[in-house]
A = this chain, B = another copy of it.
């Protein structure tokens, strides 16, 4: 089958950073389904792994853990899906991904494709939705009881930020998004942000202008927390909670957490899979819930850009756009 992958960690400007490959169709294990890939999404995690210098044992390395397709075969021990089912899926980042024609996955990573979304619109959603859902529900522990509380979403125009905005708005929280550009401001409002401020300027006076002089109840930081650390310590209310989804680029002073008895929680979609936790079935459950939320119109696809066809050249272009932080919403490859 066709695939896109690499043998060496190279900058995206290098023509060999992602190359067209011919590899065998993955051997289907008894607890896996085989999916014909129709559309794939590109996420920051893809560019980070491509740029990594870690030793990876088996080359070629094939990226991509987010997409949509159709089930073409199933292992004897699978019981959720049938061949012919259209599905969305994430994946296990410790293994090869879905930048290829066929991918074999445990049912844990798969959910029905929302019926009212195209393959491209659907492929844009799994990874960011699972991450945003875990951040909102499992890490910040938000629920309907938090109606009216305030949530500051730093970088609300990105992949996870734009789904988190929709989820929080659906819980009737007051969402303050941060963006740098006029396009992302409009996009964030469309996703349900009540207020959108600029992270290119000091956040504190902007929060004050919008009536948040006493701070916000929750913060979700979809960006390196290091440059925002001091401002987050100021902006958060006593007993507030902060969720991080991006690594800090520097060491931080955790002492200010104490004065206000603050909770700091980190979210990574891969945790349950990587550590084979007792509740790893939650991953599948969230994918299913999300799929239904799309069907019910509670969530809308955040797809904003589609490139085609799926090959090395297009994928290099996609990585370049992500690395240059030029995206608003999500980028998908199809065809």
Binding site for B on A (CB under 8 A): 134, 139, 225, 237-239, 244-245, 247-248, 251-255, 257-268, 271-272, 274-275, 277, 279
Q: Which residues of B contact A277 (CB under 8 A)?
A: 238-239
Evaluate contact between A258 and B264: CB separation under 8 angstroms.
no
Q: Which residues of B contact A257 (CB under 8 A)?
A: 244, 264-266
Evaluate contact between B254 and A261: CB separation under 8 angstroms.
no
- Distance to closest chain B CB from A149 (angstroms): 12
Docked pose: A225 CA to B257 CA in angstroms? 13
Of listed A253, A261, A271, A275, residue having the most chain B CB within 10 A: A261
Among residues of B, the one whose C-beta sits closest to the C-beta of A134 is B261
- Distance to closest chain B CB from A23 (angstroms): 29
Evaluate contact between B272 and A238: CB separation under 8 angstroms.
yes
Evaluate contact between A255 and B261: CB separation under 8 angstroms.
no
Selected contact of A263 from candidates B237, B264, B275, CB within 8 Å: B264
Selected contact of A261 from candidates B238, B261, B265, CB within 8 Å: B265
Docked pose: A153 CA to B252 CA in angstroms? 24
Q: Which residues of B contact A263 (CB under 8 A)?
A: 139, 263-266
Evaluate contact between B275 and A238: CB separation under 8 angstroms.
yes
Q: Which residues of B contact A261 (CB under 8 A)?
A: 134, 139, 265-268, 271
- Distance to closest chain B CB from A20 (angstroms): 33
Evaluate contact between A238 and B139: CB separation under 8 angstroms.
no
- Distance to closest chain B CB from A130 (angstroms): 12
Among residues of B, the one whose C-beta sits closest to the C-beta of A229 is B254
Q: Which 7 A-B pairs have the closest CB atoms?
A: A251-B251, A238-B275, A257-B266, A261-B271, A258-B266, A263-B265, A264-B264
Docked pose: A134 CA to B264 CA in angstroms? 16
Docked pose: A251 CA to B248 CA in angstroms? 12
Q: Which residues of B contact A274 (CB under 8 A)?
A: 238, 259
Q: Which residues of B contact A239 (CB under 8 A)?
A: 271-272, 277, 279
Of listed A245, A247, A257, A258, residue having the most chain B CB within 10 A: A258
> Quick one: given A251-B251, A252-B252, A255-B248, are A266 and B272 in contact (CB under 8 Å)?
no
Q: Which residues of B contact A265 (CB under 8 A)?
A: 257, 261-264
Docked pose: A134 CA to B139 CA in angstroms? 19
Evaluate contact between A244 and B238: CB separation under 8 angstroms.
no
Q: Which residues of B contact A253 (CB under 8 A)?
A: 248, 251
Q: Which residues of B contact A244 (CB under 8 A)?
A: 254, 257-258
Evaluate contact between A271 and B238: CB separation under 8 angstroms.
yes
Docked pose: A219 CA to B225 CA in angstroms? 24
Docked pose: A275 CA to B239 CA in angstroms? 10
Selected contact of A252 from candidates B251, B259, B271, CB within 8 Å: B251
Docked pose: A275 CA to B261 CA in angstroms? 11
In the assembled complex, 15 residue pairs joining A and B whose CB atoms fall closer than 8 Å, in A order, are: A238-B272, A238-B274, A239-B271, A248-B254, A251-B251, A252-B252, A258-B267, A260-B266, A260-B271, A260-B275, A261-B266, A261-B271, A263-B263, A263-B265, A263-B266
